[in-house]
Structure 1
Amino acid sequence: MRPALHLPPAPQGLTQLGTEEKFERLAFEGQSFEGQAADLVSFLGCRLTRVGLANTRLPKVDFTDSTLDACDLANAAWEKAHLGGVRLEGCRMVGLDLSRAYLKGCALEGCNASFAQFRDAGLREARFKDCNLRGASFQGADLKGASFAGCDLGECQMSFARLAGADFRGAELKGLRIRIEDLKGLIVDPAQAAYLAGLMGLRILA
């Protein structure tokens, strides 16, 4: 279920998120919930535009099938969040903690997620495009079938990630932290293959 082209607006004057509060098929624009804390909040099939969620503490928050456009999520703690099928465009995600979150099939485009935490998250078939992921941690994450076109993966931690079928073509890998055991099934271009071989101590001679 994707957000409809036209959604009714969220309630006027909404400034506080409550525990187990549920919003369904609503349009949020310009609200600020910065620094708030609540458990089990749900935004189902919603559209959020320029919404401030920085420094929020929202464990197990559910954004299933929602769209987040130009939202500020910096340094939020959303452990075990559910973002299946979510689309994020131009969002500020610096330091966002999505450890053990579910993000299967999500799409992120033009987002700044440097130093974000995706540890042990489920990211199968996730699509990252033109995102800054420098210094982010994907340690132990399930990235099978994920793609990273045009992304900066420099200094990323990928140890123990499951990467079978993941596509790194077109991504910057300088400083990537990864084990040789993690490379099985990973899709890369020739230049990336040479770089990764160098990380493993191999020398490629013409």
Structure 2
Amino acid sequence: MSEGYYKNATFEGIDFSSKESPSGEFEGCSFIRCKLVKADLGGWEFNNCRFEDCDLSNARVVKTTFNQVKFKGCKMLGIHFDLVNAFVFTVGFEDCVLNFTSFYKRVLKEVSLAACQLVEVDFTEADLGGADLRRAVLTGAKFEQTRLEKTDFREAVGFNIDPAVNYLYKAKFSASGLAGLLAKYDLEVE
């Protein structure tokens, strides 16, 4: 693929990980079943794009723009979203695997992470105000100085959140998830 501007294009079944990755700008594009494993997406711009059933594991995203980008059913292991262009970072995820990913200091207000696997994800100092984390798997996820105001954790599992070091005003939890808020006290909740 050559460098350039793409509008309303559909890329299906393309292996970007085996090609030289020039910078490009994509507007209104769809990526379906594409492979971007370890691809260097640094400086690329994605505006109003959709990724479906793609593998972006360990993609390099330094200064990459993700503006109004939706990911559905994607595998995205080890991505450092803390290095993207933070000025216009608006994303949504549904049923994705985001294990070992970093959202350090990212603003993710009202982001959807519904039904996603978020094992060992770093949310340190992130703003997840109003985020949808329903049915998410959060085993080992790191929440420290994280804004979780009105965040929806109902039916989420595996989380361990210390209310003393996170902002949880009006956050929503299922009764079964309350143990994840009390773990530091080593209580036995049945």
Residue pair 2:130, 2:149 contacting (<8 A) in 1 also: yes
For 2:166, which of 157, 179, 182 is the aligned residue? 182
> Which residue is equivalent to 2:158?
173
> Contact between 2:113 and 2:136, CA under 8 Å: does it hold in 1?
yes
Give the root-mean-square deviation of aligned CA atoms. Answer: 2.4
Task: Give the direction of change, closer, same or farther, for the CA distance of 1:84–1:111 in structure 2 (3 Å limit).
Answer: same
Matched position secondary structure for 2:165: helix
Q: CA deviation at 1:203?
A: 5.4
Letter in 1 for 2:67: G
SS of aligned partner of 1:28: strand
- Matches of 2:183 and 2:166 in 1, distance apart? 15
Identical pairs, percent: 24
**Pairing 1:60-79 to 2, within 5 Å after superposition:** 60-79=43-62
Partner of 2:33: 50
1:164 equivalent among 141, 149, 173: 149
* Cα separation, 1, equivalents of 2:71 and 2:32: 10
- Look up the equivalent residue of 1:130 and give its one-letter code: A
Q: Per-residue CA shift, 1:57-101, capped at 9, x if unaligned?
A: 223432221110111100012134332322111111011221154
Q: CA deviation at 1:160?
A: 1.9
Consecutive unaligned residues in structure 1, runs of 5 or more? 1-13
Deviations 1:4-28 (A, max 9, x none): xxxxxxxxxx3x5x4xx32221111
TM-score (norm: length of structure 1): 0.79
Taking the aligned partners of 1:93 and 1:119, their CA distance within structure 2 comes to 16
**Correspondence for 1:145 among 130, 137, 151:** 130
Aligned: 1:85 with 2:68: yes
In the TM superposition, residue 197 of structure 1 has moved relative to its aligned partner by 2.4
3-state SS of paired residue (1:197) = helix
User: C-alpha separation between the residues in 2 aligned to 1:60 and 1:179?
Assistant: 37
Q: Which residue of 2 is the match for residue 27 of structure 1?
A: 10
Runs of at least 5 residues in structure 2 that lack an aligned partner in the other structure: none
Change (3 A) 1:203 1:135: closer
Whose strand fraction is larger, Structure 1's or Structure 2's?
2
Query: Does the Cα contact within 8 Å between 1:100 and 1:120 map onto a contact in 2?
Result: no
TM-score (norm 2): 0.84
Aligned-partner residue type, residue 128 of structure 1:
L
User: Residue 141 of structure 1: CA displacement?
Assistant: 1.4
**1:137 corresponds to which letter in structure 2?**
D
More moved, 30-39 vs 48-57? 30-39
Q: Which AA in structure 1 matches 2:123?
A: F
